[in-house]
Copies of this chain bind each other. A is one copy, B any other.
Amino acid sequence: MMYPKSIQKLIDLFLKFPTVGQRTARRFVFYLIKREKKELENLARAILDLKEKIKFCKNCFKPFEGEGEICEICSDKTRDKSLLCVVEKEVDLESIEKTKKYKGLYFVLGGPISAIKKEELKKLRIEELEERIKDKKIKEIIIATSLTTEGEALALFLERKLKNSGKKITRLGRGLPTGGELEYADEETLKEALERRK
Contact = CB atoms under 8 A, between A and B. Distances in A.
A130 interface: no
A161 interface: no
A97 B1 contact: yes
Given A17-B31, A30-B90, A65-B4, A44 B48 contact: yes
**Total copies of the chain:** 2
Contacts of A186: none
Interface stretch (A5-13, A143-151, A166-174, A187-195): A5-13
Interface stretch (A49-57, A114-122, A131-139, A152-160): A49-57
Interface string A1-40: 1011111011001000111000110111111110101001
B51 A4 contact: no
A98 interface: yes
Contacts of A94: 1, 3
A28 B18 contact: yes
Interface residues of A, number: 50
Contact of A48 (B3, B26, B41, B53): B41
Central interface residue in A4, A49, A98, by most chain B CB within 10 Å: A4
Interface of A: 1, 3-7, 9-10, 13, 17-19, 23-24, 26-33, 35, 37, 40-51, 53-54, 63-66, 73, 89-91, 94, 97-98, 183
12 contacts: A4-B53, A4-B63, A4-B64, A6-B49, A6-B54, A10-B46, A30-B89, A30-B90, A30-B91, A32-B50, A41-B48, A44-B44
A-B pairs with lowest CB-CB distance, top 5? A4-B65, A44-B44, A1-B97, A6-B53, A10-B46
